Chains A and B, each alone.
Chain A
Amino acid sequence: MPSTFETVANIIAETCDIARDTITLDSHAIDDLGIDSLDFLDIAFAIDKAFGIKLPLEQWTQEVNDGKATTEQYFVLKNLCARIDDLVAAKAK
């Protein structure tokens, strides 16, 4: 079974036509990979489907806009994957 990161990296590579080997755990989806908010909707859709969750994008965006969080907390891939794992675990409870 592929890791969360493998699944997410493959989704990003396919959805945004980004070379898979350029995507690392430390990649920032926006700053490093150049993914814009519209493309991220397709990624969120694919992640929602793949993991059976609903990424709380509205909440994350609000927190960033309010200065309560940084984009790194949500969009650096190792952090994104950790949050996906948390959502999957919460759903399983």
Chain B
Amino acid sequence: MRIEYFQLIDRIIDLNLIDLTIRVEAIVPTDSTIFEGHFPGRALMPGVLLIEAMAQASGWLIIGRMRFAKMPFLAALKEVKLRTFVTPGQTLMVSAKIMHEGSGFAMTEAEIEVDGKTVCNADITFRVVDFPEGEFLASMHEVARRIAFPMEAASHG
């Protein structure tokens, strides 16, 4: 997890474009300036970053579904539950499923497990728009390679 760069996903474990599901791994770093403030003497992964991790996992699923033609942007959250604390060094298993594909938007259900136990979940809405011009797409391809995005899955119908 490159937490300071807001790149929270380490590795895509499974991308299923038939079931419209994704599973990814994200390891919370043991050391980060974030934990110096959140909180002194009691380091906790911020809840907003857990939400962001669920959004990013969902986002990669939607990008795969759209075959890198469109980019999802976080628009709304519902039914967010942060069930227990997450601490530095823990391995997050983030999963998401597309529940609805609208015109220009998509909705997912996402959750994070630690050691098989759900630590948070949310229903997430994204606006889905054409990829911005310029280096944006190239930078997303670079991140995709780093997190082992299965390009072959997104290139087949």
Contact = CB atoms under 8 A, between A and B. Distances in A.
A44 B101 CA distance: 11
Interface string A38-76: 100110110011000011111101000000000000000
Contacts of B107: 45
B100 interface: yes
A19 to B, nearest CB: 23
B88 interface: no
B148 interface: no
A45 B9 CA distance: 28
Contacts of A42: 76, 125
B103 A59 contact: yes
B76 A54 contact: no
Given A38-B75, A41-B76, A41-B125, A58 B100 contact: no
A17 B107 CA distance: 21
B40 interface: no
Interface of A is mostly: helix
Contacts of B100: 45, 48-49
Interface string B82-120: 000000000000000000111111010000000000000
Given A41-B125, A45-B107, A57 B76 contact: no
A66 to B, nearest CB: 15
A57 B75 contact: no
B62 to A, nearest CB: 14
B31 to A, nearest CB: 38
Contact of B75 (A41, A54, A56): A41
A38 B127 CA distance: 9
A36 B24 CA distance: 34
B102 A48 contact: yes
Task: Find the residue from B75, B100, B104 having the highest chain A CB count within 10 A.
Answer: B104
Interface of A: 38, 41-42, 44-45, 48-49, 54-59, 61
9 A-B pairs with least C-beta separation:
A58-B104, A57-B103, A58-B103, A41-B105, A57-B104, A56-B103, A44-B102, A45-B100, A54-B103
